[in-house]
Structure 1
Amino acid sequence: MARVSELKSLIAEELAQSVDRRVAAFAASIAEQYGEASRVVLFYGSCLRTTELDGQMLDFYLIVSSYEAAYGKSWLVAANKRLPPNVFPAEHDGLVAKVAVLSEQDFYKLNRITASAVSVWARFAQPSRLVWHADEQARSQAIEAIEGAAITLFDMTFPMMDIGKEHGIADLWKRGFELTYGAELRAERKDRSDSVVDSDPERYARFGPAVMAAITERNKAQGKSLKIIASRNAVEKRWRQLRRNGKLLTLARLAKASATYAGGIDYLAWKINRHAGTEYVIKPWQRNWPILGALVMLPRLILGGAIK
């Protein structure tokens, strides 16, 4: 029987930690909506960190066996395949959330270094909870997928650290999250990457050595073949690609959300106002024409520094 890595053990332990019973009930209702296609429901994000639920927008990822199983013969299958994830609003017992849907295959791939954007691996390098799962195999596959997130973060961050300086584990995490926040259109404060780590420094101190051990084991396993070590220039080029992709994908997903997410433009404004301290008010015409409304709104907010 293969030895379970320390990193996987830590992920399994973290995923299994208890959550508010309302979050668990919410997750079960999401899984029920998609029937046998549902594999796991993961809870993550600011509401997990702060434990504040009322009046907040909760964040869930629903992992399904396949998009066909989840949607049947629907245009949503193509939308989820071509521009994952699909995102939907949800309500349960007085709580509201947005639910991102990915297949097991895409969830695994988007947590790896070959992903075209940082959005999945950046989030799952942070804490999450497995709040519903169909069976033990689904749980194991979720752990396997999530293991790639922190490894990818470290692989992409090591070459970007300042040479000639001493760095602690916390510095590596903070630099990594700083880079990922810069690779998306985000309405976050400049110190957000620091606050994520500072909210639970013990967690990141535990996970850091385990991530490095997993990278070492991977490199040993690949030792019989030639391994090319990326230069800083190569990694910087990759980050430029990720920044370009991330911003374009944000706009494309916003356009898609106008068809899949009722009130998506209002959510965007709420998110920006909450994190950037702005007071942007959506006009009635923007709700009627959400794509055009978003295109008008985003340049103003970018120029004003509300999002980057």
Structure 2
Amino acid sequence: MPSRLSDLVAAELSAPADPRAAAMAGALAAQYPQAARAVLFYGSCLREAHLDGLMLDFYLIVSDYPAAYGKSWLARANRLIPPNVFPFEHQGLIAKYAVLSEADFTRLNSPAADNVSVWARFAQPSRLLWAADDLARQRAVAAVAQAAPTLLSLARPMADGEGDVLALWQAGFAQTYSAELRAERKGRSLSIVDADPDRYRRFGEAALADGLPPPPDDAAAQWRRLQRRGKWLSVVRLAKASFTYAGGIDYLAWKINRHAGTQIAIRPWQRRWPLIGALTLLPRLLRGGAIR
């Protein structure tokens, strides 16, 4: 029987989105005809009325990595260090999309995840813009419905006894922003909840009513592990993207400049040797506070 939270998640995922984003999702799925199972649209562009000039964010969920790539090193890379991230263009819009298998998408939204990157994003609003069939839709809803309980369960021991569900959300997002290298300015984690407090109150109360997963015995230690692994994974994914993402180093600079107000310019040698360029850029960004 569906839970209160899964009903809310299903309704939110099926809510209308910009038709151009929906068309882009369909075109993206068509690039993987043997593997595509679902395409989800998430991120700040969900709130934007005009998409031109913005970088849209999608997750492409596939049946498995060999079906998506064949016997390619990309399949191994996606399995060992998920997700792979690629650029995409359609009808004048630009996007990046992350590829996950159905199994990894389910695991990475759950308390079994060893990093925050997926459940921290899907605890926030998203849209399911394309699904291969009803089973794929059901699996996507079930996976996303794990994200909020995962965040809130880990956040509850860190919330300093605050009883308000919005304070619980804010505590959780504050912790997740310390578990990745982030380009956003300090305080961005609080603005997530402030942007739509009614939504977070409804989803939080539904998750609490359904019952949260049990928190770890030592939540503070678990967050420290997530933070150490998250920072390490951010660097590894950055290095991997220099091979898988065309123009990845320019995208990195664009994103950091947009969120942190910096004026980073990529030099020709960094484009020629993107892995070395990305790694040499990292200490400068950390020293300057452009990413945290």
Counterpart check, 1:70 vs 2:82: no
Rounded Cα–Cα distance in structure 1 between residues aligned with 2:190 and 2:176: 12
Deviation per CA, 1:214-249: give whole Å up to 9, x if none: 225x67xxxxxxxxx644xx1111111111111111
Residue of structure 1 equivalent to 2:274: 290
Deviation per CA, 1:152-180: give whole Å up to 9, x if none: 101110000113xx431111111111110
Runs of 4+ in 1 over 3 A off after TM superposition: none
Of 179, 198, 202 in structure 2, the residue corresponding to residue 206 of structure 1 is 202
The amino acid that maps onto 2:66 is E
Residue of structure 1 equivalent to 2:174: 178
Counterpart check, 1:89 vs 2:87: yes
Aligned residue runs from structure 1 range 20-59, under 5 A: 20-59=18-57
Deviation per CA, 1:158-217: give whole Å up to 9, x if none: 000113xx431111111111110110000111111111111111111110111112225x
Deviation per CA, 1:227-282: give whole Å up to 9, x if none: xx644xx1111111111111111111111111110000001111111111111111
2:129 match: secondary structure: strand
Deviation per CA, 1:75-99: give whole Å up to 9, x if none: 1110000000000000001100001
The amino acid that maps onto 1:89 is P
Rounded Cα–Cα distance in structure 2 between residues aligned with 1:257 and 1:297: 14
Rounded Cα–Cα distance in structure 2 between residues aligned with 1:240 and 1:49: 32
Paired residues of 2:239 and 2:279 also in contact (CA < 8 A) = no
User: Structure 1 stretch 248-257 or stretch 120-129: which is displaced more?
Assistant: 248-257
The amino acid that maps onto 1:121 is W
Paired residues of 1:150 and 1:211 also in contact (CA < 8 A) = yes
Residue of structure 2 equivalent to 1:260: 244
Structure 1 pair 52–242 and aligned structure 2 pair: CA distance change class (3 A): farther
Structure 1 pair 51–119 and aligned structure 2 pair: CA distance change class (3 A): farther
Residue of structure 2 equivalent to 1:190: 186
Paired residues of 1:38 and 1:70 also in contact (CA < 8 A) = yes
| Cα shift at 1:143 | 0.8
Query: Could you list the runs of 5+ residues in structure 1 that have no partner in the other structure?
Result: 220-228
Aligned residue runs from structure 1 range 232-271, under 5 A: 234-271=218-255
The number of aligned residues is 292
Structure 1 pair 240–51 and aligned structure 2 pair: CA distance change class (3 A): farther
The amino acid that maps onto 1:105 is A
| Cα shift at 1:36 | 2.9
Residue of structure 2 equivalent to 1:278: 262
The amino acid that maps onto 1:205 is R
Counterpart check, 1:307 vs 2:288: no
The amino acid that maps onto 2:284 is R
The amino acid that maps onto 2:186 is K
Larger radius of gyration: 1
| Cα shift at 1:52 | 3.8
The amino acid that maps onto 1:173 is W
Paired residues of 1:66 and 1:104 also in contact (CA < 8 A) = yes
Q: TM-score, normalised by structure 1?
A: 0.92
Rounded Cα–Cα distance in structure 1 between residues aligned with 2:216 and 2:3: 25
**Identity across matched positions, percent:** 60
Query: Could you list the runs of 5+ residues in structure 2 that have no partner in the other structure?
Result: none
| Cα shift at 1:72 | 1.0
The amino acid that maps onto 1:179 is Q
